[in-house]
């Protein structure tokens, strides 16, 4: 019997070695039938099935061998080979996008792997990648939750699996869990910085989370890796438009600084985005940053030479820089595009007395049309101010418009149109009391003015509806006496008619009757400001702000008072210094003569400081990132290639960042000529901080003259990566 069994077995081995696997199978089966405990025949039968890729039959054969001897090494090796074969089959299905079949193959491999002794297979790297590939197959089926579970299992065994982090991040993005996706995609990029698809999906995650700035940085890096990545270009267009739309919203809400940032981000993604350049110019115009406004508007015109609104806004920016000639020329360029463009015509009529609208330019006035007013300039000047105010109003430059309308009223207090225009702009600014005062002033001059009556109706409609008091309630609420209300109205009338002492007296009477009248305190502050009693004006304005901390106009009044006070103080300083100017001039001439005669040694003329900044991140882990809970230092190297700089202040923009703590830098007393100064500023990331690319603008501020204001001397845009702490998923147990 044994001889027959051995004969069948040996014949099967011969067929196996000859590659005739189908003929080997019946020989091994015959040997096993004669001796079911013939472990070698079971193992050989497994080999024959394996060679024919009959994995199920091979699995049955090797299981029978291991049942006879669980430590039989040839059978264990064959078992591992079967697992790898299922794994390879799954990868082939995955490559062919047959995701259901791939999942079945990977799951079979995982099931076989779980049946092996843990100690014999745990270190095998292929078994970890089984879960990575299973997760990828689930993603192909859009079964994202199953993918997440498989990939978390892989990461629990090896935290540095780049494919596992990438696929897990991608699955979270597709689930809409962008906050969970971001740390895994950032981890994948930290391991493989050139993995462009990770950068692309990180952009998607940032965009979905609303962090457009981080999304912009991520997509720029993606395009740097592959400028021809078409899907990235499409996503960049979407993010660009989101920045632009956000900028328009900020512009309409008068949040001009935020608007400039949004438009700049849009331009970063598309430098030829003409409309973004135009609106960036408008935002700069609103905050009176005229040189930057001009630069943005000039770029707009370079991209779109027929953009008449850009010419008009550019003319206003030149006007803000007191470049009247350029303003006139630019406004005329707008009219070359559209001769009937009213904003440009209004501006030209206001700033160029020689300008005449096209329809009357060629018609000389007849004798009967000659002006008969003995003071012909009076009306033309008031009209000029009014038209310039209208031009400013068209461009939403409210402060400048108010000033021009007020100048028109100063020249002619009975100028109804100027009062109505002043009320209109106050209505736009939601300063309803001021708007009402202006409308009433117009009606006092002309009781039949339809525009003034319409303005009053618009003001009433703009006021919030106040509920009627409940008659059943007996509690008495403090009210302002009617005579106090009259005094408040009188104060406003006196204020508008420039009778400031009478206005102050009226507002004081209101405050005596009702100390909580915010409008009276505000009006008193205005009156004191005009009188020149700046300390009293500040006290009154601060009282108004305490009564209504959200009052925008009270805050503006305080700023205006501070500005006017500084101007007055500087005037006094110059007045005191002036008597000594002659003596100082004599001394300067004497010193100059001594220098010319070489009696006094003299170095080269004073050179202004020329500062630049280099910035880097120093952190203890040495990975180049600021990790969660880690304290690093921002190293600033300040280089001065000019004259000595003194009392330099360091400013960060933004000044505070969620999740980061850093100490405000101390002022630098002195940076000598042609020298370097190194400063290190500690910065700590909170333990729960989310990963991102953090942008930071570093500014060096200093005075440009004895009485000059603090101005930027150097600016550096700096960014660094923040990496969060990843929560390790709990490993799933084996069967």
Indicate the CATH number for domain 229-304.
1.25.40.10
pLDDT at 361 exceeding the cut of 60 = no
DSSP 645: E
Region 418-432: mean pLDDT is 87
Over 70: is that where the pLDDT of 224 sits?
yes
| pLDDT over 50 at 730, yes or no | no
pLDDT score at 179: 92
Specify the pTM: 0.48
Per-residue pLDDT at 231 exceeds 60:
yes
**The two structure tokens encoding residue 219:** 């997509």
pLDDT tens track for 59-95 = 888 888 888 888 888 988 998 898 888 888 888 998 9
Name the pLDDT band for 410 (thresholds 50, 70, 90). Answer: confident
Contacts of 148 (CB under 8 A, 6+ apart): 135, 168, 171, 172, 175
Q: Under CATH, what is the fold of the domain 395-461?
A: 1.25.40
Position 423 pLDDT exceeds 80? yes
Structural tokens at position 482 = 């009617």
- Quickly name the fold that domain 2-207 has: 1.25.40
For 295-349, what is each residue's pLDDT tens digit? 999 999 999 999 999 999 999 989 888 888 898 899 899 899 998 898 888 888 8
Position 124 scores a pLDDT of: 54
Lowest mean pLDDT among 114-118, 399-403, 498-502: 114-118
Confidence of residue 580 (pLDDT cuts 50, 70, 90): low
State the span(s) of the chain assigned CATH 1.25.40.10: 2-207, 229-304, 395-461, 482-577
- The full length of the chain comes to 735
The residue among 285, 340, 358 whose CA lies nearest residue 315 is 285
A 10 A CB-CB count for 569 gives 12
- Give 117's pLDDT tier (boundaries 50, 70, 90): low
Does 585 have pLDDT greater than 50? yes
Whether the CB-CB separation of 206 and 177 falls below 8 Å is answered with: no
Give dist(CA 649, CA 341) in Å, integer. Answer: 47
Q: Give the pLDDT score at 352.
A: 76
pLDDT tens track for 602-615: 444 446 788 889 98
Angle, in degrees to the nearest 10, between helices 212-225 and 196-209: 160
What pLDDT does residue 467 have?
Answer: 47
Beta bridge partners of 511: none
Q: Which two tokens stand for residue 621?
A: 């882990």
Q: What is the pLDDT of residue 1?
A: 62
Region of residue 411 (left: phi > 0; alpha: psi -120 to 50; beta: else): alpha
Q: Considering only the top CATH level, what class is 482-577? A: mainly alpha
What average pLDDT does the segment 231-242 reach?
90
Task: Report the C-alpha gap between 478 and 460 in whole angstroms.
Answer: 24
Nearest alpha carbon to residue 86 among 64, 62, 58: 58
- Of the listed ranges 35-39, 147-151, 494-498, the one predicted with least confidence: 494-498
Q: What is the pLDDT of residues 659-718, one digit of tens each?
A: 788 777 888 888 887 888 888 899 988 877 867 778 888 988 876 544 445 678 888 888
Q: Could you tell me what percent of the chain has a pLDDT over 70?
A: 83
pLDDT-derived band at 383 (thresholds 50, 70, 90) equals confident
Average pLDDT, the chain: 81
DSSP state of 651: E
Mean pLDDT of 634-649: 85
| Of 573, 679, 540, the residue nearest 616 (C-alpha) | 679
pLDDT for residue 184 is more than 90: yes
pLDDT at 303: 94
**Residue 284 confidence class, pLDDT cut points 50, 70, 90:** very high
Position 373 confidence tier, pLDDT thresholds 50, 70, 90: very low
Q: Which long-range contacts (CB under 8 A, 24 or more apart) does 613-621 make?
A: 613/637, 613/638, 613/639, 613/698, 613/700, 613/714, 613/715, 613/716, 614/639, 614/716, 615/698, 615/716, 615/718, 617/720, 618/680
Three-state helix/strand/coil letters over 673-684: CCEEEEEEEEEE
- Comparing 575 with 638, the larger pLDDT belongs to 638
3-class DSSP state of 286: helix
Evaluate whether the domain defined by 611-723 bears CATH number 2.60.40.10. yes
574 confidence band (pLDDT: 50, 70, 90): low
Start-end ranges of CATH 2.60.40.10 in the chain?
A: 611-723
Interatomic CA distance for residues 592 and 446, integer angstroms: 67
Confidence of residue 127 (pLDDT cuts 50, 70, 90): confident
Least confident of 234-238, 374-378, 399-403, 452-456: 374-378
Least confident of 214-228, 575-589, 707-721: 575-589
């Amino acid at each position: 019997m044994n001889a027959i069994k051995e004969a069948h077995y040996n014949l099967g081995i011969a067929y196996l070695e000859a590659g005739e696997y189908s003929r080997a199978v019946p020989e091994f089966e015959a040997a096993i039938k004669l001796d079911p405990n013939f472990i070698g025949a079971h193992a050989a039968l497994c080999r024959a099935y394996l060679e024919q890729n009959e994995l199920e039959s091979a699995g049955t054969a090797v299981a029978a061998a291991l049942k006879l001897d669980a430590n039989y090494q040839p059978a264990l090796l064959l078992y591992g080979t079967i697992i790898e074969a299922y794994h390879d089959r799954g990868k082939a299905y995955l490559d062919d996008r047959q995701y259901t079949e791939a999942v079945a193959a990977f799951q079979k491999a995982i099931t076989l792997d779980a049946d092996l002794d843990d100690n014999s297979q745990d270190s095998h790297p292929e078994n970890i990648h089984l879960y990575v590939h299973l997760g990828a197959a689930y993603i192909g089926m859009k079964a994202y939750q199953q993918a997440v579970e498989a990939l978390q299992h892989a990461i629990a065994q090896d935290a540095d699996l780049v494919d596992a982090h990438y696929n897990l991040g991608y699955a979270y993005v597709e689930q809409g869990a962008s906050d969970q996706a971001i740390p895994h995609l950032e981890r994948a990029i930290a391991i493989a910085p050139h993995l462009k698809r990770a950068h692309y999906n990180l952009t998607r995650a940032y965009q979905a989370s609303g962090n457009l700035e981080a999304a912009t940085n991520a997509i720029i890096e993606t395009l740097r890796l592959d400028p021809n990545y078409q899907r990235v270009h499409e996503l960049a267009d979407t993010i660009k438009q989101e920045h632009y739309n956000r900028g328009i919203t900020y512009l309409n809400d008068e949040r001009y600084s935020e608007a400039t940032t949004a438009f700049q981000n849009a331009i970063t993604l598309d430098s030829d985005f003409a409309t973004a350049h135009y609106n960036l110019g408008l935002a700069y115009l609103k905050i009176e940053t005229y040189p930057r406004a001009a630069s943005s508007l000039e770029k707009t015109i370079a991209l779109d030479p027929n953009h008449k609104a850009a010419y008009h806004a550019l003319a206003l920016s030149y006007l803000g820089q007191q470049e009247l000639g350029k303003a006139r020329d630019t406004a005329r360029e707008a009219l070359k595009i559209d001769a009937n463009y009213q904003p440009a015509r209004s501006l030209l009529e206001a700033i160029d007395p020689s300008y005449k609208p096209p329809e009357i330019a060629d018609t000389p006035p007849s004798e009967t049309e000659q002006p008969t007013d003995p003071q012909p300039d009076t009306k033309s000047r008031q009209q000029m101010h009014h038209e310039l105010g209208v031009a400013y109003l068209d461009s939403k430059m409210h402060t400048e418009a108010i000033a021009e309308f007020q100048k028109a009223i100063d020249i002619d207090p009975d100028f109804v149109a100027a009062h109505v225009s002043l009320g209109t702009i106050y209505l736009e600014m939601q300063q309803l009391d001021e708007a009402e005062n202006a409308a009433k002033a117009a009606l006092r001059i002309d009781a039949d003015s339809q525009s003034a009556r319409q303005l009053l109706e618009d003001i009433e409609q703009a006021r919030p509806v106040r509920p009627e008091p409940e008659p059943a309630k007996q509690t008495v609420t403090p009210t302002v006496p009617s005579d106090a209300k009259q005094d408040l109205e009188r104060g406003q009338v006196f204020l508008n008619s420039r009778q400031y002492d009478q206005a102050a007296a009226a507002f004081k009477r209101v405050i005596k009757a009702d100390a909580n009248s915010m409008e009276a305190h505000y009006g008193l502050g205005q009156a004191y400001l005009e009188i020149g009693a700046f300390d009293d004006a500040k006290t009154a304005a601060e009282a108004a702000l305490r009564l209504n901390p959200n009052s925008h106009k009270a805050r503006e009044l305080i700023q205006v008072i501070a500005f006017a006070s500084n101007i007055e103080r500087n005037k006094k300083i110059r007045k005191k210094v002036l008597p000594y100017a002659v003596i100082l001039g004599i001394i300067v001439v004497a010193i100059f003569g001594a220098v010319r005669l070489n009696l006094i040694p003299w170095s080269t003329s004073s050179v202004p400081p020329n500062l630049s900044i280099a910035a880097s991140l120093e952190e203890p882990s040495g990975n180049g990132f600021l990790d969660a809970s880690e304290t690093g230092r921002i190293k600033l190297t300040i280089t001065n290639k000019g004259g000595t700089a003194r009392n330099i202040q360091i400013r960060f923009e933004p000044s505070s960042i969620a999740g980061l703590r850093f100490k405000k830098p101390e002022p630098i007393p002195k940076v000598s000529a042609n020298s370097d100064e190194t400063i290190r500023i500690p910065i700590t990331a909170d333990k729960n901080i989310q990963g991102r690319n953090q942008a930071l603008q570093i500014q060096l501020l200093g005075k440009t003259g004895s009485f000059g204001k603090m101005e930027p001397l150097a600016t550096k845009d700096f960014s660094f990566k923040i990496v969060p702490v990843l929560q390790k998923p709990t490993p799933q147990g084996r069967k």
